[in-house]
């Protein structure tokens, strides 16, 4: 089934709770209500004509005024895919976990929690995965400022080239 | 042991640390193992030791500038990460790669796939205590490294591809060398099978260890050879043919479980041997049928794809690699995410480890072909 046809089906079935279908090239996607996420995902997985048995990718994106979580779904049986998105507020974003529907969400949600700072409610093991446990902030947030040092280890190194150029005008 | 001693015999659960520097964990990664004797209750993976924030770097260096960094996502098969990034940018900007450029991509990636699988096969031998297969496999891998070095000047982090094609055409005389190598490879693979794969010790160590069912594999998002070993016939090259793959005839081998259960470690190991043969098949067709023409499309230096987002999927040596790129219309990508095969494979280890012997954990990691830089990025 074509992605746009899948989004139409979702719209017919869930009405208001499917917010918007965006037909932007190259990949169109559908924006859904975060509160209806679990219900929609369960439908996508269990409906025999859709049968999205694989959550192939889950990503968090920071857009400065809001945070998005993107779900790339795929069906091995029907060989079609869909892209689902939810918009969350930037302050304390939280959404229900889809771990109960697709097991692969476990690690991907840990990564989003670690790097983008989205809280997944009901997640079985929500810990940092790539960064150290005591790392400040979430590195893939656009306003993240890298700390100058971590446990006495400097994260910056002076460049000898910059030093040689220091008599020239300073970069703005 | 007699019954009389049993009430006094008490076993205690141990917590063991494996890694981060451990020869069989294929890079810097760590497991916390709770074990009762030799049997594991659970092995909890701890990753992130090789996290180099590649996705963050992408937001700072621009589209062309990110290409050398993609090599570091998976340095064992860097051609695929090059291609994934190139394809994502081309899809965003609607660039068409010249036909000869696509053929160069197929040739370089398939050679890289063989090199990567040779390493996996060799490491499997080393991990279960046989050093010789490793040396044999590396010998053949070196020859591919020589070929690729002649092609692009590097042996590991290639930076061969560009947005819109590849950097250089095949050098003079390279085609003949490549074909000669393929003639050399076919009997060598049979030799590996005779030497190692069908060896009784190898089969006993690998067969029936940690089988994965097809449903479970899909649920945990296993991809590539690991998924096909479970009996799912799915190959991005075949089913969502990208680049020039529609031009070639090749089979998609799947696990049949002739040594034990479908989807066990032996099946996963054998997938690599089968796939090397298929890659050789593709390479022969590509090398003999190569069209003439340019290898690189004209792409502006100040590359600014229109605002939008896309995901492309590339069949890398470790399976379906997904590149998700968001562009805001500027010269720097807004967000780049790589979904890699090793990341998904690590996610299933905790579940599979329950009730497994500690020595089998090593087999499980080797058979899933986990590469640490690809997990952590």
Please state the ipTM of this predicted complex: 0.85
Contact between B221 and A54 using a beta-carbon 8 Å cutoff: yes
Measured distance CA(B257)–CA(B207) in Å, rounded: 8
Q: Are B176 and B284 in contact (CB under 8 A)?
A: no
Residue B3's pLDDT band (boundaries 50, 70, 90)?
Answer: low
Q: Is the pLDDT of residue B114 over 90?
A: yes
Q: Which residues pair with B310 in a beta bridge?
A: B325
List the one residue out of B263, B253, B26, B290 whose CA is nearest residue B166. B290
CB atoms within 10 A of CB B357: 15
Nearest CA in chain B to A102: B219
How do the domains of chain B map onto residue ranges?
52-352
Percent of chain A scored above 70 by pLDDT?
94
Measured distance CA(B229)–CA(B255) in Å, rounded: 4
How high is the pLDDT of residue B180? Answer: 92
List the one residue out of B77, B28, B43, B141 whose CA is nearest residue B340. B77
How high is the pLDDT of residue B7? Answer: 63
How high is the pLDDT of residue A49? Answer: 84
CB atoms within 10 A of CB B349: 21
**H-assigned helices in chain B:** 54-61, 67-71, 78-93, 99-127, 131-152, 174-192, 200-206, 214-219, 225-229, 236-239, 265-288, 341-352, 358-368, 372-376
Q: Are B170 and B89 in contact (CB under 8 A)?
A: no
Structural domains present in chain A: 3-142 (3.30.460.80)
Q: Which residue has the tokens 């180099």?
A: B52
Q: Which residue has the tokens 């999927």?
A: B313
Range A9-29 average pLDDT: 80
Q: Is the pLDDT of residue A108 over 80?
A: yes
In angstroms, the separation between the Cα of residue A63 and the nearest Cα of chain B is 9
Contact between B347 and A24 using a beta-carbon 8 Å cutoff: no
Q: Is the pLDDT of residue A48 over 50?
A: yes
List the one residue out of B110, B245, B77, B251 whose CA is nearest residue B181. B110
How high is the pLDDT of residue B1? Answer: 47
Structure tokens at B287: 């090398």
Contact between A107 and B337 using a beta-carbon 8 Å cutoff: no
Mean pLDDT, chain A, integer: 85
How high is the pLDDT of residue A165? Answer: 61
Q: Which residues pair with B33 in a beta bridge?
A: B16, B43
In angstroms, the separation between the Cα of residue B320 and the nearest Cα of chain A is 9
Structure tokens at B121: 């096969």
Bigger pLDDT: A19 vs B194: B194
What 8-state DSSP symbol labels residue A16? G
How high is the pLDDT of residue A166? Answer: 61
Measured distance CA(B197)–CA(B206) in Å, rounded: 10
Instruction: Specify the range with the lowest mean pLDDT, choosing from A4-13, A121-130, B42-51, B110-119.
Output: A4-13
Q: Are B170 and B104 in contact (CB under 8 A)?
A: yes
How high is the pLDDT of residue A159? Answer: 73
How high is the pLDDT of residue B181? Answer: 92
How high is the pLDDT of residue B25? Answer: 65
Q: Which burial class, exposed, middle or buried, applies to B344 when counting CB atoms under 10 A from its CB (0-12, 13-18, 19+)?
A: buried
B52-352 CATH pick, 1.10.10.10, 1.10.260.40, 3.40.50.300, 1.10.645.10 = 1.10.645.10
Measured distance CA(B308)–CA(B80) in Å, rounded: 23
| Chain B residues touching residue A24 (CB < 8 angstroms) | 307-309
- Among the partner residues A24, A107, A130, nearest to B51 by beta-carbon distance: A130
Residue B22's pLDDT band (boundaries 50, 70, 90)?
Answer: confident
C-alpha dist (Å) from residue A77 to A121, B209, B352? 30, 27, 25
| Chain A residues touching residue B94 (CB < 8 angstroms) | 26
Contact between A27 and B47 using a beta-carbon 8 Å cutoff: no
How high is the pLDDT of residue A160? Answer: 72
Q: Are A130 and A111 in contact (CB under 8 A)?
A: yes
Q: Are B369 and B27 in contact (CB under 8 A)?
A: no
Q: Are B74 and B119 in contact (CB under 8 A)?
A: no
Best B216, B221, B226, B368 residue to mutate vs chain A (most A CBs within 10 Å): B221
Measured distance CA(B168)–CA(B328) in Å, rounded: 30
Q: Is the pLDDT of residue A150 over 70?
A: yes
Range B34-55 average pLDDT: 87
Q: Are B88 and B325 in contact (CB under 8 A)?
A: yes
Residue B350's pLDDT band (boundaries 50, 70, 90)?
Answer: confident
Whole-model pTM?
Answer: 0.87
φ and ψ of B167, to 5 deg: -75, -40
Any idea how long chain A is?
Answer: 172
Residue B319's pLDDT band (boundaries 50, 70, 90)?
Answer: confident
**H-assigned helices in B15-98:** 54-61, 67-71, 78-93
Contact between B346 and A25 using a beta-carbon 8 Å cutoff: no
**H-assigned helices in chain A:** 3-14, 37-46, 105-115, 160-164
C-alpha dist (Å) from residue B356 to A43, A156, B16, B128, B129? 36, 44, 14, 15, 18
Instruction: Specify the range with the lowest mean pLDDT, choosing from A2-16, B307-321, B339-353.
Output: A2-16
pLDDT digits (tens, 9 = 90+) for A51-73: 888 898 999 999 888 999 999 99
| Chain B residues touching residue A79 (CB < 8 angstroms) | 239
pLDDT digits (tens, 9 = 90+) for B117-172: 999 898 888 888 888 888 999 999 999 999 999 998 888 888 899 898 898 889 99
How high is the pLDDT of residue A167? Answer: 63
Q: Are B296 and B165 in contact (CB under 8 A)?
A: yes
Instruction: Specify the range with the lowest mean pLDDT, choosing from A27-41, A130-144, A149-163, B325-339.
Output: A149-163
Strands A119-121 and A94-96, how do they pair? parallel
Element (H, E) at A57: strand A54-62
Mean pLDDT, chain B, integer: 87
Instruction: Specify the range with the lowest mean pLDDT, choosing from A104-118, B15-29, B327-341.
Output: B15-29
């Amino acid at each position: 089934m074509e992605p746009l046809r899948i989004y139409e089906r979702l719209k017919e079935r869930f009405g208001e709770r499917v917010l918007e279908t965006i037909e932007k090239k190259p990949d169109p996607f559908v924006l859904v209500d975060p509160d209806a996420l679990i219900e929609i995902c369960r439908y996508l997985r269990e409906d025999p004509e859709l049968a999205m048995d694989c959550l192939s990718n889950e990503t968090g994106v920071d857009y400065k005024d809001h945070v998005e979580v993107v779900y790339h779904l795929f069906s091995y049986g029907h060989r079609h895919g869909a892209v689902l998105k939810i918009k969350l507020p930037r302050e304390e974003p939280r959404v229900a976990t889809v771990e109960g529907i697709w097991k692969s969400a476990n690690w991907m949600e840990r990564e989003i929690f670690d790097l983008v700072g989205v809280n997944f409610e009901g997640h079985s093991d929500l810990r940092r995965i790539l960064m150290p446990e005591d790392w400040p902030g979430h590195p893939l947030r656009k306003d993240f400022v890298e700390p100058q040092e971590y446990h006495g280890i400097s994260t910056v190194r002076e460049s000898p080239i910059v030093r040689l150029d220091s008599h020239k005008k300073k970069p703005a | 042991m007699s019954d009389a001693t049993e009430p006094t015999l008490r076993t205690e659960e141990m917590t063991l640390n494996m890694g981060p520097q451990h020869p069989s964990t294929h890079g810097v990664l760590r497991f916390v193992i709770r074990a009762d004797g030799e049997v594991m209750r659970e092995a909890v993976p701890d990753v992130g030791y090789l996290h180099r924030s590649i996705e963050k770097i992408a937001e700072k260096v621009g589209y062309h500038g990110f290409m050398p960094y993609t090599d570091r996502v998976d340095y064992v098969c860097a051609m695929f990460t090059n291609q994934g990034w190139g394809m994502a940018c081309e899809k965003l900007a609607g660039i068409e790669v010249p036909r000869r450029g696509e053929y160069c991509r197929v040739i370089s990636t398939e050679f890289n796939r063989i090199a990567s699988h040779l390493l996996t096969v060799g490491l499997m031998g080393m991990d279960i205590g046989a050093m010789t297969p490793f040396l044999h496999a590396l010998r053949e891998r070196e020859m591919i490294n020589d070929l690729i070095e002649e092609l692009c000047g590097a042996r590991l982090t290639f930076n061969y591809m560009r947005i819109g094609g590849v950097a250089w055409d095949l050098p003079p005389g390279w085609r003949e060398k490549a074909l000669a190598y393929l003639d050399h490879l076919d009997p060598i693979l049979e030799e590996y099978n005779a030497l190692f794969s069908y060896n009784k010790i190898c089969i006993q160590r690998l067969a029936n260890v940690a089988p994965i069912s097809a449903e479970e594999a899909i649920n945990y998002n296993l991809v590539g050879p690991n998924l096909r070993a479970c009996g799912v016939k799915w190959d991005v090259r075949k089913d969502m043919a990208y680049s020039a793959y529609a031009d070639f005839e090749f089979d998609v081998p799947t696990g049949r479980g002739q040594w034990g259960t479908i989807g066990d470690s032996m099946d996963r190991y054998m997938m690599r041997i089968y796939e090397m043969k298929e890659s050789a098949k593709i390479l022969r067709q590509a090398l003999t049928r190569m069209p003439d023409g340019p290898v690189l499309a004209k792409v502006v230096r100040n590359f600014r794809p229109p605002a939008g987002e896309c995901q492309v999927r590339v069949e890398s040596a470790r399976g379906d690699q997904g590149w998700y790129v968001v562009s805001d219309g500027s010269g720097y990508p807004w967000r780049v995410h790589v979904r890699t095969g090793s990341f998904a494979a690590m996610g299933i280890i905790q579940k599979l480890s329950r009730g497994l012997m500690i020595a089998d954990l090593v087999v499980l990691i080797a058979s899933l072909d986990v590469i640490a830089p690809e997990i952590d990025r």
